């Protein structure tokens, strides 16, 4: 069948299916799509061709190949969390639970990092307002402050992926964080402040930060 310029390779119709064929990096690829329109077959060809070109380029440069979101979380938990203070480590782990419930075992089914877009982050934030850490529906919506905290942790996880060149860019950076609920500041006593400093003494950076804020 004649080739056209609006999609790569060739698309051949056979009965109620389309056969898509093209080459990337010297390798030939063939896909059979059933019960789709020609337009959908062309869209698939363009998208799949782009993904394979990206992978071929990364392979040529010796960069890591695309990984799943669950693999990123496991690596982040093993390599980044141990370097945090105990309190921060526990807070991050609290956020990783709903991440897995939404991105891995729930709504998105553990996608490749390169396929996660800002729209998926927005979808997660809407979902998180009404779901607990393990994906169970809540009777009462979470506060904007909790959702914003989750978004901040998710931003750091994707920044880590970008640093390792596991994907390009950070989709969380394109999503505006929710406005936190206004709260009256809590003013602690001198005695409480001294106890707080004592709790931070095991982490020099945290201790200096708390001292400075105090």
Window from 51-65, 69-83, 158-172 with minimum mean pLDDT: 51-65
Dig out the tokens for 212 from the structure. Answer: 């400075």
What is the reported pLDDT for 95? 93
CA distance 78 to 204: 22
pLDDT-derived band at 2 (thresholds 50, 70, 90) equals: very low
What is the reported pLDDT for 1? 43
What is the reported pLDDT for 48? 82
Q: How far is CA 94 from CA 33, 62, 81, 88, 125, in A?
A: 41, 35, 12, 10, 15
Q: Dump pLDDT digits (tens) for 128-184.
A: 999 999 999 999 999 888 899 999 999 999 999 999 888 889 999 999 988 765 565
Q: Dump pLDDT digits (tens) for 11-35.
A: 999 888 999 998 887 888 888 998 8
Q: Dump pLDDT digits (tens) for 77-89.
A: 999 999 888 888 8
CA distance 50 to 1: 22
């Amino acid at each position: 069948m004649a080739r056209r310029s609006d999609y790569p390779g060739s698309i051949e119709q056979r009965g109620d299916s389309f056969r898509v064929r093209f080459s990337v990096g010297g390798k030939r690829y063939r896909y059979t799509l059933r019960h789709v329109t020609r337009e959908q077959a062309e869209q698939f060809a363009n998208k799949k061709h782009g993904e394979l070109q990206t992978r071929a380029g990364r392979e040529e440069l010796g960069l890591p190949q695309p990984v799943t979101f669950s693999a990123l979380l496991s690596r982040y938990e093993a390599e980044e969390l141990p370097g945090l203070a105990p309190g921060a480590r526990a807070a991050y782990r609290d956020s990783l639970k709903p991440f897995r419930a939404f991105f891995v075992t729930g709504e998105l089914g553990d996608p490749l990092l390169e396929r996660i877009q800002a729209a998926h982050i927005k979808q997660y934030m809407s979902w998180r307002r009404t779901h607990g850490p393990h994906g169970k529906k809540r009777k009462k919506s979470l506060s904007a402050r909790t959702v914003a905290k989750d978004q901040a942790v998710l931003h750091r996880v994707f920044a880590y992926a970008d640093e390792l060149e596991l994907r390009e860019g950070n989709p969380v950076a394109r999503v505006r964080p929710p406005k936190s609920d206004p709260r009256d500041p809590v003013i602690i006593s001198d005695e409480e402040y001294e106890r707080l400093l004592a709790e931070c003494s095991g982490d020099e950076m945290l201790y200096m930060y708390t001292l400075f804020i105090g």
